[in-house]
Amino acid sequence: MTDRDPLLDPVLDPAAMRKQYTADGLAAEDLALHPMDQFARWFEDAARAALHGTLYEPNAMVVSTADATGRPSSRTVLMKQFDTDGFVFYTNYGSRKARDLAENPHVSLLFPWHPLARQVIVTGTARRTGRDETAAYFRTRPHGSQLGAWASAQSTVIASRSEVDAAYAELEARYPEDEQVPVPPHWGGFRVAPETIEFWQGRRNRLHDRLRYVSRPDGTWTVERLSP
């Protein structure tokens, strides 16, 4: 029996993978005046697609940061709020992304809504949310997730999974289901204030529509079309 080169199988060959996008286009005149209003429209479409089982976790976004030397890193997190001031997510302040943002507040967000042939790409700056806002959100988390925020020293090297499991079990005994879990001082939110927001709509023959809102110093926005 000989080893088979997976790239000879068109099912496994990335270069042979093709998806023709057939969605309607995106015209500048159809956009909302404010980018967060346009995001709300698209987010509703994504949430409805998730409700029907065609899209998974519409609030999942890729957060890309860079440290003080410019070395980038990316990870997927869950967006927990959006409004005219931007996008909010929560994390351990000792994590790599939080350490990066402490050194370099510039950040990029990407919402990859593949089943809709859509992406939203955000660039902006991040700042910590206030403790009252953080505490209010923490109280809405499931009990187990509250304990998890204490159990994990996120992004640190650990000897084994059992180390985390033991820490969680200890917390579970200390704070049973009906016991209030205090908000960890090392855990909280970041709000990303957007400077640009690009709405990407897949089109046939890779001639995608890309419309980008760019903030002006006076607080208004201009829209520009990018070549696909």
Q: Which residues carry out catalysis?
A: 206
* CB-count exposure of residue 77 (10 Å: 0-12, 13-18, 19+): middle
CA nearest neighbour of 97 among 130, 61, 131, 133: 61
Could you tell me if 107 and 126 are in contact, meaning their C-beta atoms sit under 8 angstroms apart? yes
Amino acid 190 reads F
Question: Which tokens belong to 221?
Answer: 């926005």
| β-sheet bridge partners, residue 120 | 111, 199
Q: Whole-angstrom Cα distance, residue 64 to residue 190?
A: 13
Could you tell me if 130 and 222 are in contact, meaning their C-beta atoms sit under 8 angstroms apart? no
Apex CA 165: angle with CA 161 and CA 168, to 5°?
145
Q: Whole-angstrom Cα distance, residue 162 to residue 155?
A: 16
